[in-house]
Structure 1
Amino acid sequence: MDINVGDVLKLKKQHPCGSREWEVLRVGADFRLKCLGCGHQIMIARKLLEKNVKEIVEKA
């Protein structure tokens, strides 16, 4: 899966704030994502993220 910094991803499960869209801030073995609803940032393993991505909404 081709995911780059600045892409906006829509995930299968929503964040507790209600948003499903996340911005990619860092790419590597782990990804740093920022919730576009509330601004919360998380680190998530590549394997887990690739399983949970529904679509790439916006390419950087």
Structure 2
Amino acid sequence: MMPVPEYHLHDVVEMKKPHACGANAWGIMRLGADIKLNCTACNRTIMLTRFNFNKRLKKIIKSNATQEEG
């Protein structure tokens, strides 16, 4: 079984497919059953279910974990 990646609010993530504007970096704006993402290039906002987000996530570019813990 593959481990679930740790992501936090305001992390910047890379998805498997780029956005229509050409950017591939997204900022996490909301976490819950649905995850709200904001395109870093054009500021378009989308919402994905947690299942679809985990399936489409490629990697975490910038983590915000240290700021949340402290």
TM-score range, shorter chain: over 0.9
Query: Of Structure 1 and Structure 2, which has the larger fraction of its residues in helix?
Result: 2
Any unmatched runs of 5+ in structure 1?
none
Q: Does 2:47 correspond to 1:43?
A: yes
Deviations 1:4-58 (A, max 9, x none): 1010000000100000100000000000000001000011100000011110000
Query: Of Structure 1 and Structure 2, which has the larger fraction of its residues in strand?
Result: 1
Q: Which entry has the higher C-alpha Rg, 1 or 2?
A: 2
Give the fraction of aligned pairs with identical amino acids, expressed as a percent. Answer: 35
Corresponding letter in the other structure for 1:4:
H
Greater relative contact order (Cα 8 A, min sep 6): structure 1 or 2? Answer: 1
**Count, aligned residues:** 60
**1:2, distance to aligned residue in structure 2 (A):** 1.3
C-alpha RMSD of matched pairs (Å): 0.6
User: Runs ≥4 in structure 1, deviation > 3 angstroms?
Assistant: none
Match of 1:25 among 29, 38, 56: 29
**TM-score, length of structure 2 as denominator length:** 0.83
Q: Quote the Cα distance in structure 2 between the aligned partners of 1:37 and 1:58.
A: 15
Partner of 1:12: 16
